[in-house]
Amino acid sequence: MNEIPSNCPMISSKTITARRMMDLAIEKIENTSIHKINLIWLEATGCAGNIISLLNAENPDIIYLLDQMVTLKYNNSLMAAEGAGAFQQFLDTLETEFILVVEGAVATKDDGLYTVIARYQGELVTAMEAVKMAGEKAKYVVTVGTCASYGGPSAARPNPSQSVSVPQFLNKEVIRVPGCPSHPDWAIGTIANLIAFGMPELDPQSRPIIFYGITIHDQCTRRSYFNNGIFATKLGEPECMFKLGCRGPVTRTDCPVRQWNGYVNWPIEDNTPCIGCAQERFPDGMSPFVRY
Q: How far is CA 172 from CA 135, 139, 141, 203, in A?
A: 8, 11, 8, 17
183 has binding-site annotation: no
8 has binding-site annotation: no
Query: Cα separation of 275 and 37, whole Å?
Result: 36
Strands 116-120 vs 106-107: parallel, antiparallel or unpaired? unpaired
Task: Name, in order, each residue with C-beta under 8 angstroms of 63's C-beta and a sequence gap of 6 or more.
Answer: none
Query: Cα separation of 121 and 98, whole Å?
Result: 24
Task: Name, in order, each residue with C-beta under 8 angstroms of 287's C-beta and a sequence gap of 6 or more.
Answer: none
Query: Cα separation of 21 and 23, whole Å?
Result: 5
255 has binding-site annotation: yes
Please provide the distance, in angstroms rounded to a whole number, between the alpha carbons at the two ends of the chain: 25
- The radius of gyration of the chain's CA atoms, rounded to the nearest angstrom, is 20
Residue ranges for the known binding site for [4Fe-4S] cluster are: 47, 147, 180, 217, 220, 240, 246
Instruction: Please enumerate, by residue number, every residue annotated as part of a binding site for [3Fe-4S] cluster.
Output: 255, 274, 277
**Feature table: binding site:** 47, 147, 180, 217, 220, 240, 246, 255, 274, 277
